[in-house]
Structure formats: structure tokens, C-alpha cells
Amino acid sequence: MKQFRFLLRFVDLFEMDTTNPLSVKSMVRMIKEDKKAVIFPEGRITVTGTLMKIYEGPGLVADKANAMILPIMIDGAQLSPFSYMKGRGRIVAFPRITIRILPPEKIQINAGVTGHERRVAATFAMQDIMYRLYYSGFDSRQDLFSAFLQASSTYGRDKVVLEDFNREPLSYRQMLSRIFILSRRLRLSTGAGEHVGLLLPNTNATVICFLALQHLGRIPAMLNYTAGIQALTAACTTGQIKTVYTSRRFVENAGLQKLAEELGTQVTLIYLEDLRGQVTVYDKLAGFICSYYPVLHHSRMSIGRDPDSPAVILFTSGSEGSPKGVVLSHSNILSNYAQVRCHINFCPKDIVFSCLPLFHSFGLNAGTLMPLLGGSKVFIYPTPLRYRIIPELIYELEATILFGTSTFFKGYAHHAHPYDLKSLRFTVAGAEKLREDTLQLWMDKFGIRILEGYGVTETSPVISVNTPIVYKSGTVGRILPGMESYLEPVDGIQEGGRLIVRGPNIMLGYLLPDRPGVIIPPRTSRGIGWYDTGDIASIDKEGFIRIQGRARRFAKLGGEMISLTVVEELAMQTWPGFNHVAVNLPDEKKGEKIILVTNYRNANRRQMQETARRLYYSELCIPRNTLFAEELPLLGTGKINYIGLTEMVRAEEIKNQGWLAKFSNMVRKSETGEETSEGEEPGQEA
């Protein structure tokens, strides 16, 4: 800034010329002479509120001079009148300034790395230091509702941050008023620390109800209304849920009357419409007054509340096994928010289109809570399956951030006009592997690069994510700051292993059907706190993670492990534009066999063999059989229902085996001269 340039005459200023290598050498020589230097790795003042691009120079200088680095962060100045974040934050005359200093450290690079690779490694090492510094600036040692109040204070309580398909925009203050009104009713039917079920769609009311329970110190349990009555009752038993809140309008519109009736015999079912009728004038007045003094009001309710206590219960989708309850603490969720904020800059100008279900961690944490904590407006939509309507809404709202799955992104791309998605600046895919044809389709049609991330419910949920600054095609990005990882070897897999992680965002533990109400913390051979993701992954020398597939989604053929994901990629290369899923079944000869289910009607092994030879795939990747299906079974989250699909394939195999046995028997009879049953001819059922 020009007005402060006169201060430079009081310090030793070393002007760097980025085009001259001798400039860097001079800086290295100066550092080696034990002189102190203040270096700004970003090279410019932030305009986003998060880290900007990290230049190679600082890391190179630190590495060459073997210098000790003292990370220092000045936080709060970005909200001052001198900020470069015009329109991206609430500017105040005298913001609170915090200077944060981490312990000194040196850049660690393997001795054998030289040349360009060493410069890249030094840059990533400096980047990691900066991310850890930025991550340390967020207070995750508080309860979730206190963080929400802090966001409302930072970005202004009159900032509009929530809207649903009913087109009722709500500001922080309006949300707080409704939260405090509803909480006066909720506390009459629930107790402190009680697990409370929410069977609700993506609406403003669901978010208000969730935050009202947070304010009261109840633990919301997000129930999957697409799972069926057996799964819902099992979830209520596992989570020891006695009270479930739902909506009469939702039950009627979704055709869930029978489900609600049966669920009502197991738990106390309370309709939000009934609570609305019980709200008194005094409740409204109290809620209105408290919305102007929310911190004072909440402080009375949250005395002694532990950040490490449960904040929410989410149930795994059950795509590969029985659903389990995942218990996340306040600190888990807030830590993951801070980790993601290092990479994705939610700002008040953003509009996040959130259509993933709130009973899924991707939809609840990434799609809803993180934007609300970052001051962004969330437009919450009840279903991700409206492939024609959603692109139109994004165009109308001028949404800037979209979270989704590969399946949903493909659907939007097929129905959207090329101009519909012009406003999107972040498009993040997760929950399932991003297909190459979907990625290319978005690039060709919209000029948008989908950023693939990776996570699981148990990690609140994000583990890694690609960003415009740190990106590598075919990977899911680098692990988030504050997390550790290692690969556990797996027999039959030459490259990579089971990905095991640890960090402040790792869940408190599981609620299991055989031990309802008891939290079982994650554990591996290295001790408590380490979580086995169940995914086979590899990590390259730059730290980028490449997911090869679920450990359960590997078939063992003749002693060699074959990734079913690779089989699906081969099918996609053979018949692009169609959906393909591979499953494995027991086989007497090779131990297991691979069956491909596809919606391409003319699929056959010969075409896959030709593609495999052309692209150098292993012959073992060619499935034994192919089955045609008009539609592949999906879960409510958009992921493939592998359990349902495997059962379908198994039933088809049994049916085919029965026909083959019957056909063989008829052939044997015809060869020996025996008569077949009346009206029965060989091959009739074929």
C-alpha cells in the first residue's frame, strides 16, 4: 500500500527479481550469513480470505540455506478498511487482530531428491507449513452452535444465508429467532443429551430444527427416509432413538404414510406442524428478543458443554454392508470445516446450491454447515435427481458452488444448456469415483473442471480435495492439514495399500447394532484414533492420493487382486456414455468371477477383449459374463447400491445355473433315448 511505503526506509529491504536467478542466490547467501528475513510466500495480499498461490522462491531459499522457518500469521486485518476483500467480507473499522506464531521448523526433503523435483518438493513443504498455520487460526474447541453464532457476528446478523424451494430467504437473525422459538417447544418433549431422530427433507425447517437441537444440547440423528422401514427401525434401536421429528406435509408428498405409521409404533413420532400450532405469543416474543442477544442466551444453555461430546449421529449408507451409526463430535465437524477452509474459500458473495440429502455427511457438513459457518448463502433443494430443473435454478440463482456426485453431474450435463452453469466457480465431486467421461463432458460443454475430493462419513467427511491451486488429474488431491496417513500392505496388491488416517476430524466412534448406545472408537494395529477407510489407495511423491477402489471391491482371480473399478473403466472405454458396474461372485475354478452389469444392450466380451488389448489392460479385467439392466439400483445419496445389485446378479446367476442344469439333463436324456416331460422341449426356457 502506497500510504505505508515510507516505513520501508526504516528496514533493510531486499527487492526480489523473480526473473533473475541471481536474485534468489543472493537471498540464499544472505540467509546463510545468519541474517533474519521476513518473506511473504504468497507474494500478494489475499483477496479471498484464504491462502493464495505459494511461490517457489521462499521454499527454495529455505531449502538451499537450510534455514529455520518461524511461521507467523496476522489474522483479522482482512476485515479492516485496508482489506483487498472488497465485497467478500464484512468490513469493520477496528477488527480484532490476532498474531499467531507456530513453533520453528525446517523444510524436510528426502536426500535423494534433486533438480526440478526438489524445487517442487520445497514448494509443497512450504505450502504445508502455510496450511497448518492457517488451520491453527480457527477455534474448533467450541460447540457447533457457538461457531454458528460467531459466524453471524463476523458476517453480520442481517446477512441472508438460507433459502429453500419455498423461496423464503432467511438472514442469520431470522434463523436465530426461529431457532429460539422452536427450541422452547423441543425441550418440552426431549431431555438433555438425548438422541433425537430427524426424518425430514432438505428445507429451511430441517436446518432450523437441527440447529435448535444443537442449541439445546440434544444430539440430532439424521434418518434416511429412502432406506425403508427395517433400516429405519434398526437405526432407531442402534442409536437408542425414542423421539423422531418429521413433517406431515413431507410424509404425504413423499408417500411415506405407511412407513410413518409403522415407525410410530416403535418411537414417538412428532410432527413439526403440530409444534407450530403450540407456539404462543410469548414464545415468539422471547425468540425475537433472544435473537438480539444470542450469545448471552446460548451461554446460559451451554455451560459445561464439551467440544468432544457428540454433536450428530449419521448412519452409513449401507452400500456394502449393514448401516452403522457414526457419532461425530462438535470438534470433529469444526476441525473439518477449518481444514476445508484452507483450500476452499467460502465467502459472503457465494451462493451454494445444496441438493444432497441432509442425512448424508456430504450434504449436511460440506453442503450446508460449512457454507453457513463461512457466511455464504445456502440454497437448499429437496432432491438431487431433478436433472432438468436444477441447472435452471443454478442459472436463475447464479449459484457459485455446487457439491454433487459423478452420477448427478452426468445427469445435469445431459440436460443443461451450456450457459446454465456459467456462474459456478467451484464444482466439487465426492461420495463416488468421478468418471472420466463426466469430467470431460463438463469441460467440453461448460468449460468447467470438476474438482474431485475424497472422504467418508467417519472423517466428518473430507480427507482430501483438489483445488484450482493444488490439482492433479486422476487423484483426489492431497491430505488436509492436521491429518496423518499411512498405507497398510494388502496381499496381491503390488502398488498401494489400505489407506489409514488419523486427525481431529476422525469420528468419536461407531454405534453398532449388537451394542446399541455404546460408542466404539476407531482402532487399528497402531492404536485408538486411527481409522481404516477400507479403500485401496496409493500416494505419490507429491502427496496426491489416488483411490484404486474399495478393498471389498477387489476380486481375487487365481491369486491376483483385480480392482472392480478398473473393470468398470475398461467397460467405459469400450462403451462410453453408458453406465457399467462390476460385481464379484464366488467361482469354483478361480475362487471368484467378475460379472459386469451395464445398460448397454449389445455388450459382449469380445469387444472388451479388443479394447483391453489396445489399451494394455490385463486379460483378468475382462468379466466372465455381462448382464443388461435398464437402470442400476441407487441409494438415496446417488451411490450405487452394491448390496442390491450383487443380490440381483446372484439371483440371475442362480436362475441361469438352474436353466443350464435342466438343459444338460434334457440333452442327456435325449442322447440316451429317454423321453422328456410332456410339452417340454430342450432349450424352451432359453
Q: Could you read off the pLDDT of 179-211 as tens digits, one per residue?
A: 999 999 999 999 989 999 999 999 999 999 999
Rounded CA-CA distance 507/639 in Å is 22
pLDDT band, residue 663 (cuts 50/70/90):
very low
Say yes or no to pLDDT of 2 above 80: no
pLDDT > 70 fraction of the chain, expressed in percent and rounded = 90
CATH number of the structural domain spanning residue 591: 3.30.300.30
Full 3-state SS string of 430-482: CCCCCCHHHHHHHHHHHCCCCEEEEECHHHCCEEEECCCCCCCCCCCCEECCC
- Report which of 239, 234, 263 is spatially closest to residue 251, judged by C-alpha positions: 263
Q: Which of 71, 104, 135 is the endpoint of a domain?
A: 135
Say what the pTM is.
0.83
Last residue of a domain, one of 70, 100, 135: 135
| 558 band by pLDDT with thresholds 50, 70 and 90 | low
Q: Which of 79-88, 336-345, 376-385, 490-499 has the lowest mean pLDDT?
A: 79-88
Residue 657 lies in a domain: no
What does the pLDDT average to over 599-606? 86
pLDDT attached to residue 686: 29
| Residue 684 confidence (pLDDT) above 60 | no
Among 102, 135, 168, identify where a domain stops. Answer: 135
Within a domain: 59? yes
Residue 624 lies in a domain: yes
Task: Give the span between the Cα atoms of 503 and 510, in whole angstroms.
Answer: 16
Query: Who wins on pLDDT, 1 or 503?
Result: 503
554, 544 in Cβ contact below 8 A? no
Which three cell numbers, joined as nine digits, stand for 270? 412428532
Residue 623 lies in a domain: yes
251-294, pLDDT tens digit by residue? 999 889 999 999 999 999 999 999 998 999 999 999 999 999 99
Q: Does the residue 84 lie in any domain?
A: yes
b/e map of 531-554 (b: 16 or more CB within 10 Å)? bbbbbbbbbeeebbbbbbbbbebb
What pLDDT was estimated at residue 28? 83
Q: What pLDDT is stored for residue 485 in this prediction?
A: 94
Grid-cell match 494388502, residue found: 490
Summarised one tens digit per residue, pLDDT across range 459-498 is: 999 999 999 889 999 899 999 999 999 999 887 777 888 9
Q: Does residue 142 contact residue 330 with C-beta atoms inside 8 Å?
A: yes
Domain count, the chain: 2
The residue with greater pLDDT, 533 or 31, is 533
pLDDT in tens, 603-618: 888 888 888 888 878 7
| Cis-peptide, bond into residue 522, ω within 30° of zero | no
pLDDT at position 49 over 80: no
Q: What's the gap between Cα 435 and its chain centre?
A: 17
User: Which phi and psi angles does 138 have, rounded to 5°?
Assistant: -100, 135
Q: How many helices (H) and strands (E) does the chain have?
A: 21, 30
Contact assessment for residue 385 and residue 406, using Cβ atoms and an 8 Å cutoff: no
Interacting residues of 281 by C-beta distance below 8 A, sequence separation 6+: none
Q: Which is more confidently placed, 311 or 605?
A: 311
Higher-scoring residue by pLDDT: 2, 407: 407
pLDDT attached to residue 656: 66
Higher pLDDT, 45 or 604: 604
Could you tell me the pLDDT band of residue 331, with boundaries at 50, 70 and 90? very high
Q: How far apart are CA 68 and CA 409, in angstroms?
A: 46
Of 544, 541, 406, 390, nearest to 478 by C-alpha is: 544
Q: Does 145 or 682 have the greater pLDDT score?
A: 145
Can you say whether the dihedral through the CA atoms of 424, 428, 432, 435 is positive or negative? Answer: positive
Confidence category of residue 112, pLDDT binned at 50, 70, 90: confident
Residues paired with 429 in a beta bridge: 404, 452
Lowest mean pLDDT among 49-58, 166-175, 461-470, 578-587: 49-58
* HSE-CB of 553 using CA atoms within 13 angstroms: 29
d(CA 265, CA 397): 42
Provide the pLDDT for residue 335: 96
C-alpha span between 55 and 53 (Å, rounded): 6
Q: Within 13 A of 11's CA, how many CA atoms are on the CB side?
A: 11
Q: What is the pLDDT of residue 19?
A: 65
State residue 33 phi and psi, 5-degree precision. -80, 10
Distance CA 618, CA 338 (A): 43
pLDDT at 1: 58
At residue 19, what are phi and psi to the nearest 5 degrees?
A: -90, -5
User: Which of the residue ranges 45-49, 282-286, 441-445, 534-538 would you say has the lowest mean pLDDT?
Assistant: 45-49
What is the rounded average pLDDT of the residues 422-440? 90
pLDDT for 247:
95
Q: How high is the pLDDT of residue 621?
A: 83
Report which of residues 243 and 650 the model is more confident about: 243
CB neighbourhood size of 339 (10 A): 28
How is the beta sheet containing 625-628 ordered, strand by strand? 580-587, 591-598, 625-628
Q: Are strands 310-315 and 219-222 parallel, antiparallel or unpaired?
A: parallel
Average pLDDT of the chain, as a whole number? 86
DSSP letter string, 157-226: TT-EEEEETT---EEHHHHHHHHHHHHHHHHHH--TT-EEEEE--SSHHHHHHHHHHHHHT-EEEE--TT
Report for 2-6, 392-396, 471-475, 525-529: range of highest mean pLDDT = 392-396
Residue 610 lies in a domain: yes
Q: Give the whole-angstrom CA distance, residue 4 versus residue 27.
A: 24
CA distances from 29 to 18, 26, 35, 39, 485 (A): 16, 5, 9, 15, 36
Q: Which residues pair with 485 in a beta bridge?
A: 501
Q: Are 187 and 243 in contact (CB under 8 A)?
A: no
The pLDDT of residue 666 is: 46
pLDDT confidence tier of residue 77, bands split at 50, 70 and 90: confident
Closest C-alpha among 479, 607, 630, 452 to residue 542:
479
In a domain, 593, yes or no: yes
Distance CA 84, CA 78 (A): 7
pLDDT of 136 above 80: yes
| Residue 322 resides in a domain | no
Residue 219: strand pairing partners? 195
Domain extent at residue 106: 2-135
Cell numbers given for 274? 403440530
